[in-house]
């Protein structure tokens, strides 16, 4: 009889139906149950243990009661902020970095290609000059006399060497632009990770919110039933939404907002 | 090495395709086609004959390694020279590519000289 009463009272704590006085009464009852049937020699020792246990159980019971009363403020607002604002913003920022670096790399390559074209034109001119021809603007080439050509040769050679060296530098700068691809790949890996974190965190918060909602709407609902409803709702969120099924965006926003 | 050969560059990053194209032009190639992932590349290969494929590893839709395996599994395309150009430098990646039938493997970042040297090795 006494065990059944104890069981009922403990259930009542979980269902948030006991006041502070009633909890004190329950603890007294537990203490009595510990005392009942002990030998006189052990009485002091077991009294002290019983006292410790009752204090501990009382503290736990009160914690559960208080926690249930003010659950919303117990969840760190930072977590929901992280899931709904900071993580999506982080992904956007990273995407922005890829776009900016791609744009800049393309602009640099545009300039480099122009330089390469101009270098090729200069190489053609100097190649013709070495043969004693002056080519200009598509006009008929004019001839250079041998004496003038021999005077110009060292200069032509120096310019050609310079052009070759510049070409090599331009080619090198071009291949260095691959930094954009390499950094982009690393950033995409981070974005995947952030995206996964965002998903998991949002699912956790939604799952928790649904559990609280179901319990409030239906206090007698079992844990298994709640878990089944959570699974159903989370699956709906994960897959494509069919008309009339699943949580609408507003519902999700409200749920997250309430948490 | 015939510089008039038809070359297919495959990479999901547009900047990378541009760099590869520039490098190939410096070497002397002029017939260059681009694809932005393995699936598009496979479609291009089925439309037109290519003499060389230069391909990245990590791409959406179809990765470079999957494209390589698909080509090697098809009698019509199994002999196409295929060079992987990728940031994936782990030993297991290289082993996987070799087992799948890659002709050569270039790690990013690369230089024009490296590409030229590797292609000469492929074509002898």
How many angstroms separate the CA of residue B11 from the nearest CA in chain A?
10
Kind and range of the H or E run holding B40: helix B38-47
pLDDT of residue A246: 44
What's the CATH number where B74 sits?
3.40.50.2300
pLDDT band at A44 (very low <50, low <70, confident <90, very high): confident
pLDDT band at A256 (very low <50, low <70, confident <90, very high): very low
Angle (CA) A122 A128 A133, round 5°: 125
pLDDT tens-place string over residues B55-85? 999 898 899 999 999 999 999 999 999 999 9
Identify the residue among A164, A172, A185, A188 best suited for mutation to test binding to B, counting B beta carbons within 10 A and taking the highest. Answer: A185
How many angstroms separate the CA of residue B111 from the nearest CA in chain A?
6
Helix, strand, coil distribution of chain B in percent, nearest 5: 45, 15, 40
Domain assignment present for residue B2? The answer is no
CA–CA gap between residue A236 and residue A245 (Å, rounded): 8
Q: Which of A152, A154, A158 is nearest to A132 (CA)?
A: A152
Residues 6+ apart with CB under 8 A from A88: A198
Kind and range of the H or E run holding B106: strand B104-107
Interface of A with B (CB under 8 A): 102, 105-106, 109, 112-113, 116, 171-172, 174-182, 184-185
pLDDT of residue A222: 86
Q: Which of A208, A194, A206, A197 is nearest to A236 (CA)?
A: A206
pLDDT band at A135 (very low <50, low <70, confident <90, very high): confident
pTM for this entry:
0.63
Rounded to the nearest 10°, the torsion over CA A125, A127, A129, A130 is 170
Mean local confidence (pLDDT), B11-29: 93
* Phi, psi dihedral angles at A47 (to 5 degrees): -60, -45
In three-state secondary structure terms, B59 is coil
In three-state secondary structure terms, B6 is coil
pLDDT tens-place string over residues A146-176? 898 899 899 999 999 999 999 999 999 998 9
| Residue boundaries of the structural domains of chain A | 2-69, 77-258
Number of domains chain B contains: 1
Q: Which residues of B touch A181 (CB under 8 A)?
A: 11, 13, 15-16, 19, 87, 108
Domain assignment present for residue B35? The answer is yes
Domain assignment present for residue B95? The answer is yes
How many angstroms separate the CA of residue B68 from the nearest CA in chain A?
21
CA–CA gap between residue B14 and residue B40 (Å, rounded): 14
Residue of A118 and A140 predicted with greater confidence: A118
Range of the domain at B81: 7-123
Domain assignment present for residue B74? The answer is yes
Domain assignment present for residue B1? The answer is no
């Amino acid at each position: 009889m006494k065990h059944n009463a104890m069981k009922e009272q403990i259930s009542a704590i979980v269902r948030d139906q006991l006041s502070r006085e009633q909890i004190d009464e329950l603890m007294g009852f537990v203490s009595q149950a510990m005392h009942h049937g002990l030998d006189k020699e052990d009485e002091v020792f077991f009294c002290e243990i019983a006292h410790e246990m009752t204090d501990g159980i009382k503290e736990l019971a009160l914690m559960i009661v208080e926690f249930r009363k003010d659950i919303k403020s117990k969840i760190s607002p930072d977590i929901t902020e992280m899931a709904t604002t900071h993580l999506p913003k982080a992904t956007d920022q990273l995407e922005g970095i890829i776009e900016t670096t791609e744009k800049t790399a393309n602009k640099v390559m545009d300039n480099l290609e122009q330089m390469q074209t101009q270098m090729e034109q200069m190489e053609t001119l100097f190649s013709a000059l070495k043969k004693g021809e002056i080519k200009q603007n598509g006009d008929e080439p004019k001839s250079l006399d041998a004496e003038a050509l021999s005077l110009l040769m060292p200069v032509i050679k120096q310019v050609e060497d310079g052009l070759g060296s510049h070409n090599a530098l331009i080619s090198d700068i071009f291949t260095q632009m691959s930094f954009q691809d390499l950094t982009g790949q690393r950033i995409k890996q981070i974005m995947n990770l952030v995206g996964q974190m965002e998903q998991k965190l949002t699912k956790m918060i939604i799952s928790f919110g649904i559990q609280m909602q179901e319990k409030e709407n239906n206090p007698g609902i079992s844990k298994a039933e709640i878990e089944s409803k959570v699974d159903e709702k989370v699956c709906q969120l994960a897959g494509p939404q069919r008309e009339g099924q699943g949580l609408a965006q507003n519902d999700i926003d409200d749920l997250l907002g309430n948490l | 090495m015939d510089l008039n050969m038809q070359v297919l560059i495959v990479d999901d990053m547009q900047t990378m395709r541009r760099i590869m194209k520039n490098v190939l032009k410096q070497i002397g190639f002029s017939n260059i086609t681009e694809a932005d992932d393995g699936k598009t590349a496979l479609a291009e290969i089925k439309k037109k004959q290519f003499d060389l494929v230069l391909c990245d590893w990590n791409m959406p839709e179809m990765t470079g390694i999957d494209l390589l395996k698909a080509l090697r599994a098809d009698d019509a395309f199994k002999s196409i020279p295929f060079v992987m150009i990728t940031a994936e430098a782990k030993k297991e990646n290289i082993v996987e590519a070799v087992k799948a039938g890659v002709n050569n493997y270039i790690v990013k970042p690369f230089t024009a000289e490296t590409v030229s040297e590797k292609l000469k090795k492929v074509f002898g």
